[in-house]
Chains A and B, each alone.
Chain A
């Protein structure tokens, strides 16, 4: 019986799959993901897609905020940059979705690096305010650069296609989302155990010491911003192709907060946590929406009370997790796991 983690060399400690049971359950989970579209209805598939986009965005933000310790309040702006880049490339330049996707990521990464540049001079509070400002500036650009973005009318995007096959329904799109979500999570999981990931963590824990042991701060901070924004750009391009239209209202400040909430609630500095956070934060509003409709049927007139419930719950969860469970759902998950692993001799 396993009663703890015993690692004899660094190779074991760095392994992506830490133990046999992990591999087993992960395989089960993949099988489930592959069967899922054949048994689920359109609504569940829609939710699965939304969760997929949230996972990609949250993992990206976690690389920046959770691992490198740089706060970004402008994640939704980078998502917007990616979405608009892809939309403009598809509709104006006639590029295919598959070509526009990486370009969207790269343009977002560039935007992220520009915003991240001040991180070399300022940090903490100041950086947080700088990213907040960039959020509002980008929002302004989305609305007012009408020749490019069509302003508030937005841009309609045709569905992606391979040959003559169009990914038009939720079910078809699920495969795209799944592919990129798995790719994103796999890359992040691998990154954090690499030289770069360890540099990120070192910068987060103490930037002075990190520089002393030879980590080039500017290089790694900017890389972190770039990777995180690249993820955001991919998220935006995928999400908007799924919705088939992109408008400035999709990228409000609250979306940035929502992504930060995913990272915090899931657990900062944990890839698995971001996945939990993304799933949780996508399902909770949906559940609240369901409660609203029930209330509307049972007690008409009171459903007004439930419309802002989403915000109250988001904010409340952020506060509660920060105060009582700063390591997030990932930590809860670990505790639950160890209860089972150590049972009946936990001590």
Chain B
């Protein structure tokens, strides 16, 4: 029983990070109806930037963190302006493929700059684990969870209460109406990409802290697709809840099914879940049922 609870708790902690990255995907999708398949690469590049600032310039963590956020902001704006804007109104395959292309380019560039060597983050968080009584949460997971939750809350409150957030929601709802109300839709698009990138780099830093970073960390970005499919592609609450569910299921599968098939199920489990959801309930738990079925 203890082990079961332990698995659930660490699953929830990973799920928090998944939720954050999924939130980034949903933000971008809601505002611009683009599914960003380069999310994993955004994540990895953020983790690398943070690590480089930490180790090369010996900056304190908060400086590195803020710098990474700034970088993500710029990355988001540039990507939207240079790559996505020319493709507005183009068929969906072009838009998807361009984000894939972007991901491949970013991965190659990271490979060039940082080489495929596996790296570890220096200890940023106090190493003391948290004892919940029924389960022990390792410090990395705990702090990662805290970070993810704080990040999620900040994004949510921006979305809910600030003027920008209202503009973003309005654009997501109806672009033309938003534009005629004087909302700068272009700026909203750029902002959505920036927020998405920022959410993913926070996720990247947290995951980098937990398990070290390499160029191949970006694969997590594809696994997060399962989260947004489960939660519904345009539902922020769904993304967060979906994150927890996928995190827990993945951990359970990793523990209970792995010995049966000889390992590796943890990385594929989200995809099995994904296919299952698509067959049963393609619009997810909270998604709008807008899929045309012809």
Q: Which residues of A contact B (CB under 8 A)?
A: 65, 69, 71, 73, 118, 120-126, 128-130, 132-134, 136-137, 139-140, 143-144, 146, 207-208, 211, 217, 254, 257, 260-261, 264, 268, 304-305, 307-312, 314-319, 322-323, 326
Contact = CB atoms under 8 A, between A and B. Distances in A.
A137 B275 contact: yes
B83 A323 contact: yes
A311 B94 contact: no
A125 B83 contact: no
A137 B271 contact: yes
A260 B108 contact: no
A264 B101 CA distance: 11
B108 A311 contact: yes
A69 B271 contact: no
A122 B222 contact: no
B264 A143 contact: yes
A132 B264 contact: no
A123 B102 contact: no
Contact of A323 (B86, B112, B272): B86
Q: How many residues of B sit at the interface, in one of the four size bands?
A: 35 or more
Interface string B212-253: 000000000010011001000100000000000000000000
A121 B261 contact: no
Nearest to A126: B282
A212 to B, nearest CB: 10
Contacts of A319: 83, 98, 101-102, 105
Given A144-B264, A309-B108, A318-B100, A129 B229 contact: yes
B5 interface: no
Nearest to B271: A133
A3 B97 CA distance: 37
B278 interface: yes
B112 A305 contact: yes
B230 to A, nearest CB: 11
Interface in B62-119: 83, 86-87, 90-94, 96-98, 100-109, 111-112, 115
Given A309-B108, A319-B102, A130 B293 contact: no
Contacts of B261: 144
Contacts of A254: 104
B274 A308 contact: no
Nearest to B274: A133
Given A308-B112, A316-B105, A146 B100 contact: no
Contacts of A140: 264-265, 267-268
Nearest to A260: B97
Interface string B252-291: 0000000001111101100110110011001000000001
B227 to A, nearest CB: 11
Contacts of A120: 293
Contacts of B3: none
A140 to B, nearest CB: 4
B2 interface: no
A312 B108 contact: yes
Contacts of A132: 222, 225, 271
A319 B268 CA distance: 28
Contacts of A123: 291-292
Nearest to A313: B108
A66 B100 CA distance: 17
B45 interface: no
Given A65-B93, A122-B282, A207 B98 contact: no
Interface in B98-152: 98, 100-109, 111-112, 115
A118 B100 contact: no
Contacts of B190: none
Given A312-B108, A323-B83, 14 more contacts: A71-B92, A123-B291, A136-B268, A137-B268, A137-B271, A137-B275, A308-B111, A311-B108, A315-B100, A316-B101, A318-B101, A318-B104, A319-B105, A323-B98
B294 interface: yes
A215 to B, nearest CB: 11
A120 B293 CA distance: 7
A257 B104 contact: yes
A264 B282 CA distance: 28
B278 A122 contact: yes
Given A118-B278, A319-B102, A322-B98, A136 B271 contact: yes
Given A129-B229, A136-B271, A146-B262, A318 B97 contact: yes
Nearest to B284: A126
Contact of A314 (B96, B104, B109, B271): B104
27 contacts: A69-B91, A71-B93, A73-B100, A128-B35, A128-B92, A128-B93, A129-B274, A129-B278, A136-B267, A136-B268, A137-B275, A140-B265, A140-B267, A144-B264, A257-B104, A307-B111, A308-B112, A311-B107, A312-B105, A312-B108, A312-B112, A315-B107, A316-B101, A318-B97, A319-B98, A322-B90, A322-B98
B275 A315 contact: no
A125 B96 contact: yes
Contacts of B274: 129-130, 133
Nearest to A268: B93
A161 to B, nearest CB: 35
Chain B CB within 10 Å — which of A137, A264, A309, A318 has the most?
A: A318
Contacts of A118: 275, 278-279, 282
Contacts of B112: 304-305, 308-309, 312
Contact of B294 (A136, A139, A211, A268): A211
B182 to A, nearest CB: 30
A134 to B, nearest CB: 7
A322 B35 contact: no
A277 B278 CA distance: 32
Nearest to B84: A323
A146 B98 CA distance: 36
